[in-house]
Structure 1
Amino acid sequence: MNRASGHPYPYADRADAGRVLAGALAGYRGRNGLLVLGLPRGGVPVAAEVADALGGALDVVLVRKIGHPRQPELAAGAVAEAAGERTAVWNDGVVRAWLASEPGTGQAELEAVLAAESAELQRRAERYRPHQPVQRIRGSTVIVVDDGLATGATMRAALGAVRSLEPQWLVAAAPMSCAPEGDIAALADDVVIPWAESTLSSVGQAYRTFGQTGDAEVRALLRLG
């Protein structure tokens, strides 16, 4: 369910967006075992504001875009990991078009991109969770947070990974979206997007300041030092 706010758009930065999103999620404040999972890197500053406001624990669910072999900026899908569980989701239209154009080598090239992104996923898992797995998901209320939804593939992959770990209630949350909500709603028990169907062409347009979020900032927010 979208929860619009009276906040003026665009957002100042990710912290501002996180505070607005936390207000839209206020009904979850104080739930036992509440866990907020940010999507690195840009979703973690947003998730940190949500976790602080709602009194939840903060952790990450790791996601990597699977880029089109010829157009890396175009998402052919995404691969995600939470607590050692990994899942991939695909943008079927993009994949079908690619395989039709490259019937001989297309599948192998997609698998090569998937392997490379899976390796990067493992590297990030070791960096962001060096000594322990993600906090308890099974039986918990889990809110998955990104800084915005473009195609929605990244969020769908994250929700698939988390759903496989049997949360009691699963929420998809982001400050804004360029994508239709339907695919996300089918994977979550609740969808909270204050600025839904924004008509923007990119997530960055929803922010006055939209710099890169580095590993050091993510680790600091996770209190890893």
Structure 2
Amino acid sequence: MRFRDRRDAGQELAGRLMEWAAGGDLVDPVVLALPRGGVPVAAEVARALKAPLDVLVARKIGVPGHPETGIGAIVADDPPLFDRRSLDMLGLTEDRLAPDVARERTEPHRREQRYRGDRPRPELEDRAVILIDDGLATGATARAALRHLARQDPARLVLAVPVCAPDTAVAMRSEADDVVCLHHPSDFHAVGQLYDDFDQVSDDEAMQRLREHGASASRS
């Protein structure tokens, strides 16, 4: 199965999560998107669940000279979370990557301010928190995001994505109460292989989707 675009993927994912909601397994849910690609997906889920929508900004830390290859991630002011095995394989240390971390740390603050404006961060304690992205390859950013969210004492922490690498889906089960992945193809090589349209989501598009939903995660 392939998805036409992120909105189509979000609708498919919403259908799966609606089954849980009908069973009473998602109490007082809040949907959080990993921007930018996760926002169009999460908007469809939030609409179906009639749940508030907000964002959690995480930033990938890439290999020096190959920034597209993630070996860690940061969320808010949390310490960076690294893949220790990758660091060892590449002969890298956290001290060596400190300048990269400092540089990347400015971007989450910029995006969070742009997406949220003056709205307060969502209250997550004792709520069902559903973290959504458009797909997972290494899962570095999702892992950092889940650990950040777990410290806020949600009643239930769910990671939901349309597609993910099979080994990443297994690894994420130790980070969340539940992991929902619609497709984990055995020949996985990139998230975009399951999408007909996987163009990059701009800040403006992400903000538009949030405005359309009237994004706010404060308790009703």
Q: Above 0.5 in TM-score?
A: yes
Q: CA deviation at 1:80?
A: 1.7
CA distance in 1, matches of 2:185, 2:144: 20
Q: In the alignment, is the contact (CA less than 8 A) between 1:65 and 1:77 conserved in 2?
A: yes
CA distance in 1, matches of 2:50, 2:103: 36
What CA deviation, in whole Å up to 9, does each residue of 1:104-148 have, x standing for no partner?
xx5443111111111111111111111023221111000000000
CA distance in 2, matches of 1:93, 1:32: 37
Decide which of 82, 88, 96 is 1:96's aligned counterpart: 88
Paired position in structure 1 for 2:78? 86
> Which letter does structure 2 place at the counterpart of 1:188?
A
- What does 1:127-138 correspond to in 2, within 5 Å? 127-138=114-125
- RMSD of Structure 2 on Structure 1 (CA): 1.9
Alignment length, in residue pairs?
209
Q: In the alignment, is the contact (CA less than 8 A) between 1:69 and 1:109 conserved in 2?
A: no
> Which letter does structure 1 place at the counterpart of 2:140?
A
CA distance in 1, matches of 2:125, 2:94: 35
Report the secondary structure of 1:194's partner residue.
Answer: strand
> Which letter does structure 1 place at the counterpart of 2:113?
E
Paired position in structure 1 for 2:48? 53
- Asked if 1:63 is matched to 2:58, the reply is yes
> Which letter does structure 1 place at the counterpart of 2:130?
I
Paired position in structure 2 for 1:42? 37
Decide which of 15, 24, 30 is 1:23's aligned counterpart: 15
> Which letter does structure 1 place at the counterpart of 2:184?
A
Name the structure where helix makes up a greater proportion of residues. Answer: 2
Paired position in structure 2 for 1:186? 174
Show structure 2 runs of 5+ residues with no match: 216-220
Show structure 1 runs of 5+ residues with no match: 1-8
What CA deviation, in whole Å up to 9, does each residue of 1:68-101 have, x standing for no partner?
11321111111123xxx63532111221133x3x
Paired position in structure 2 for 1:4? none
Q: In the alignment, is the contact (CA less than 8 A) between 1:175 and 1:195 conserved in 2?
A: yes
> Which letter does structure 1 place at the counterpart of 2:178?
D
- Asked if 1:115 is matched to 2:102, the reply is yes
Q: CA deviation at 1:195?
A: 0.5
Paired position in structure 2 for 1:220? 208
CA distance in 1, matches of 2:53, 2:122: 9
Q: In the alignment, is the contact (CA less than 8 A) between 1:148 and 1:203 conserved in 2?
A: yes
TM-score computed with the length of structure 2 as normaliser: 0.89
CA distance in 2, matches of 1:220, 1:163: 28
Percent same amino acid among aligned pairs? 41
